[in-house]
Structure 1
Amino acid sequence: MVTKSKTLQLVFLNGDDKKVKLDLPDAADHLTSVEVKTAMKTIAEADAFAKDGVDVYKIPQSASYVERVVTNLFDDSAGNSKRATTVQAHN
């Protein structure tokens, strides 16, 4: 079984000039660079997020769509949880 997901990843500099990522897994996947940059500027200018007195999202740096593909080889977790517990107990 193959599972695909797409996340919009926003990268900002915080008040200490360190990179901070904001991942948005349910974001629309057709946004333009202008739309995303405008939204990031709005987030930064809101000054609504701080941690330990440091602005978390101070300066927009970049934005990317990150795609992830997971291919499961097997998954025994559904019907065999009792057996897995027994095996672990003997190890």
Structure 2
Amino acid sequence: MDSRTPPDGTAAGAGAPAKRFSLGSIPTRLWVALILLILAVIFVAQNRDAVQIQVLVVSLSAPLWATLGGAVLVGLVIGLLLRPSARKQRKAAQR
């Protein structure tokens, strides 16, 4: 027997089952992310028209998708700024 052959006589790796790919093996959060990405691409493709935006005295023209995306980002930042800090959460958990 060759020193590279395992004691059972099989070639290295020959007895190991091959990993099979299945759609069920993809995590749910990856499916949700993929669906959201597809929806975002469709949204951008359908909303390329320019719109007038007025903020106080400034007026500018921008694509609708960029305007709505900017509003979502502003909302996200506000939400992140207003959520309790980790220190406050730990303090509340200790009580």
Q: Structure 1 length as normaliser, TM-score?
A: 0.24
Q: Which has the higher contact order (CA 8 A, sep 6+)?
A: 1
Q: Which has the higher strand share?
A: 1
Q: Which has the higher helix share?
A: 2
